[in-house]
Amino acid sequence: MAEGKYIRQTGGRGQYGHCKLEVHPLPSSKHESMNDLSTDDLDAMSKQVAGSGGRWKFDKEHRFLFIDKVIGGAIPKEYIAPIEMGIREAMDTGTLAGYEMVDVAVILLDGSYHDVDSSEMAFKIAGSMGFKEACRRASPALLEPIMRIEVVVPDEYMAAVFGNLNARRAQIQGSDSRAGSQIIRALVPLAEMFGYATDLRSRSQGRASFSLFFSHYEEAPASVAQEVIAKTTGNVAR
């Protein structure tokens, strides 16, 4: 659990916003697209994360589940939405290398307010602060886009194409034979696919072809994540 508290006193009316929240990874779903999730699916996901009770809201674009479990009026209802907005804005810039965060569940548990100094802006900032602090404690992971690739290659060039895919960190899903050619199906990181068209053409004398489609996001290997973060923050080893 983390706490976000924003208090400012400048002589006139001050600013006061305070919330306590938990951050969890969003449970995996059998659906490839979050747009396929039904209300029942989301309700079950909310209970899996936070147990029974509370009010949930799901942002499919950010893949963000927000669960309000505040009781007893600890935070007035009009300040709940600003807290959620502050969290969503913090997700846009992330905590690792400035990349957007996805697949996050946040449980709003408690907080406090001031009759005079509390405002929507103060709670929005408190929500952002609490979320960032929770993420710092939670060891977030850098994800990379994974693509589905299908390569059609003549039998005689199969070994060369296979080896090249393995060198690109591909996960071979299977292959089929068809009229003197092989159809290779694999999952491969997008970062490894730059220059692939030229490489494939040279290894097959221009006789192979491929198609590439987005599949999902997956945690990047530690070495890859460290390199990306180092480049983004300017801490590249010389």
Judged by average pLDDT, the poorest of 116-120, 147-151, 176-180, 189-193 is: 176-180
Instruction: Name the average pLDDT for the chain.
Output: 90
pLDDT, tens only, 156-175: 999 999 999 999 999 999 99
Distance CA 177, CA 188 (A): 21
For the chain, percent of residues with pLDDT exceeding 70:
95
Select from 200, 141, 143 the least CA-distant residue to 168. Answer: 200
Say what the pLDDT of residue 28 is: 67
Say what the pLDDT of residue 13 is: 80
Distance CA 122, CA 118 (A): 6
pLDDT, tens only, 111-159: 999 999 999 999 999 999 999 999 988 888 888 899 999 999 999 999 9
pTM (two decimals)? 0.77
Cβ 83 vs Cβ 121: under 8 Å: no
Q: Would you mind telling me the total number of residues written for the chain in this entry?
A: 238
Half-sphere exposure of 75 (CA within 13 A, CB side): 29
DSSP state of 71: -
Cβ 115 vs Cβ 70: under 8 Å: no
Name 55's Cβ contacts closer than 8 Å, sequence gap at least 6: 67, 68
pLDDT, tens only, 206-235: 999 999 999 988 889 988 888 888 887 776
Q: Give the residue with greater pLDDT, 51 vs 75.
A: 75
